[in-house]
Amino acid sequence: MRSLLIVGAGLAGVRAAEGARAAGWSGPITILGEEAHAPYDRPPLSKAVLSAEEPPAVPRLRSEEVIETLEVRHLPGVRAEGLDTEGRSVTTSAGEIGYDALVIATGSTATTVPELAGIRGVHVLRRYDDALAVRESLARSREVVIVGAGFIGSEIASAARARGIEVTLLEASDRPLARAVGPRAATRLMHLHAEAGVRLLTSTTVSGIRSTDRGIDKVELSTGEAVAADAVVLGIGARPATDWLRGSGVALDPRSGGVRCDRRLATSAPGVWAAGDIACVDGVRSEHWTAAGEQGRIAGANAAGATEDFASVPFAWSTWHGHRIQVVGETTAADEEDHGDGFVLYRRHGTAVGAVGIDSPGPVARLRRSLAQTPGVGPQRAATGGVVSARESRE
Amino acid sequence: MSAIEADKTVCEGIGMCEAQADTYFQIGDDGLVEVLADEVPDPDRAYVKAAVDSCPVSALRLLG
């Protein structure tokens, strides 16, 4: 019987197994996970896990029962180290594993700062074990420095303030969230930090850390100031975990390091699909939970013989200091209109193409619905050619 | 026939359910899920189950 191998046990990997089964794959399915845990979900790591009073259980994606029903073999603690696309075999830390169809979903690795790596009290946040360490560290801290004012850094800042910790949030650029949203939305979002008592310093980096035998004492900034801190958390981005694919038959995107694939999530190698953070679809990586899930499902279905295209409306959500933030559609290069009361709309040639909402779930949901039906943007299951006006999207 | 159960106290209005099965789910003006049809005929069960399973905060259940 033909076998499906899925490398990566995150959301995209699990959804690939579900997508393959739903599309009729009847052969064995194996999921390799580098970590020792059951397949788990990442959004809670920077949210609920950090606020938990007691060390929380791993936020499983599916119950044991559901995994059994899917007839999926999960191999925890197994790392992929190489790929032979001609012999259809993956080299792993547990030996060679052959496949007939392969879905690559190895996700991202947190970016670190070489000079800070290994210092006790300095953390990144990408995996469950990282989240436990950050939670433990926050529980013992009075002051923290968070490096990077993006979504992860901001969520950590929010969790720290909820614990009454003094937070200094550093941003290397002069404009936070430049890759995610326009300047007006960024100003609104950074205002949430100011309201919550977070000290935000832009155009500022860490130049050194002073430690004692008890841990971190002070963080030296590029401005010359030294800030007292018990812990430092880095939220400065992530890069695709594709080092194991270098030199294989799977082509990587030279700029992003992601796996090049088409809208069907097929890579350059026969029988190999990609999904999630590593997938560079027509030159674009969508590093969002919603995209990872949908790409996983489609990659699995297509590996099983379906011919679905990936075309979902970009969508991300977050909670900072009790405020619900939602980002939908195109929110960087379009014209930006601040509609007040927490709704920033983006237009191109007059047509609404995206929005950032702060505690505005109704308008965001309506816009997302409209975008999903706009040709060239959404999944086009109802390609009505609907053009959204700001009024329609708000009412 | 199955039935959909939605817990609005858990829902965060992320809208994965609507993205996958918009004939059964919609995010309302309050930003929370509205179930458009409580009963799911058998031919739609797998389609609705996928939407229910996609909820990142486990606010949905499919009974029966």
* Among A293, A313, A324, beta carbon nearest to B54: A293
Residue A367, number of CB atoms within 10 A of its CB: 28
What are B5-49's pLDDT values in tens digits?
999 999 988 888 887 788 899 988 888 999 999 889 888 887 898
**CA separation for the pair A6, A293 (Å, rounded):** 14
> Does residue A394 carry a pLDDT above 80?
no
Which of A220-224, A296-300, B51-55 is predicted least confidently?
Answer: B51-55
> Does residue A361 carry a pLDDT above 90?
no
B18 and A18 in contact by Cβ < 8 A?
A: no
Which of A108-112, A182-186, A359-363 is predicted least confidently?
Answer: A359-363
> Does residue A390 carry a pLDDT above 50?
no
**CA separation for the pair A268, A339 (Å, rounded):** 44
B56 and A289 in contact by Cβ < 8 A?
A: yes
In this prediction, residue B47 carries a pLDDT of: 81
Under a CB-based contact definition with an 8 Å cutoff, are residues A89 and A102 in contact? no
Q: Which CATH fold topology does A4-109+238-303 show?
A: FAD/NAD(P)-binding domain (3.50.50)
Q: Do A4-109+238-303 and A112-234 come out as alike in CATH topology?
A: yes
Q: Where do runs of H (alpha helix) occur along chain A?
A: 11-22, 48-51, 64-70, 128-139, 151-162, 183-195, 289-303, 361-372, 390-394
Under a CB-based contact definition with an 8 Å cutoff, are residues A122 and A211 in contact? no
Look up the ipTM and state it: 0.77
**CA separation for the pair A286, A275 (Å, rounded):** 10
* B28 touches A at CB < 8 Å: yes
Write down the CATH superfamily of domain A112-234: FAD/NAD(P)-binding domain (3.50.50.60)
Quick one: pLDDT band at residue A111, thresholds 50, 70, 90? Answer: very high
Q: What angle do CA A77, A81, A87 make, to 5 degrees?
A: 120
Mean pLDDT, range A110-138, rounded to an integer: 95
**CA separation for the pair A13, A7 (Å, rounded):** 7
Is the CATH code 3.30.830.10 the one for domain A315-377?
Answer: no
A365 and B54 in contact by Cβ < 8 A?
A: no
Query: What is the total residue count of chain A?
Result: 395
A315 and B26 in contact by Cβ < 8 A?
A: no
3-state SS string for B15-35: CHHHHHCCCCEEECCCCCEEE
Name the closest residue on chain A to residue B14, using Cα atoms.
A317
Residue A268, number of CB atoms within 10 A of its CB: 15
| H-run or E-run covering B47 | helix B45-53
> Does residue A391 carry a pLDDT above 50?
no
C-alpha A359, offset from chain centre: 21
Strands B33-35 and B25-27: antiparallel
Quick one: pLDDT band at residue A23, thresholds 50, 70, 90? Answer: very high
Interface test with A, best of B10, B24, B47, B54 (most A CBs within 10 A): B54
In this prediction, residue A341 carries a pLDDT of: 85
| Domain residue ranges of chain A, discontinuous segments joined by + | 4-109+238-303, 112-234, 315-377
Residue listed under structure tokens 């007006």: A184
Mean pLDDT, range A325-338, rounded to an integer: 94
| H-run or E-run covering B53 | helix B45-53
Give residues with Cβ within 8 angstroms of A324, minimum separation 6: A317, A318, A357, A358, A359, A361, B12, B13, B31
> Does residue A192 carry a pLDDT above 70?
yes
Percent of chain A whose pLDDT exceeds 70: 95
* A312 touches B at CB < 8 Å: yes
A324 and B32 in contact by Cβ < 8 A?
A: no
Contacts of B18 in chain A (CB under 8 A): 365, 369
* B32 touches A at CB < 8 Å: yes
Name the closest residue on chain A to residue B47, using Cα atoms.
A22
Percent of chain A whose pLDDT exceeds 90: 82
In this prediction, residue A376 carries a pLDDT of: 58
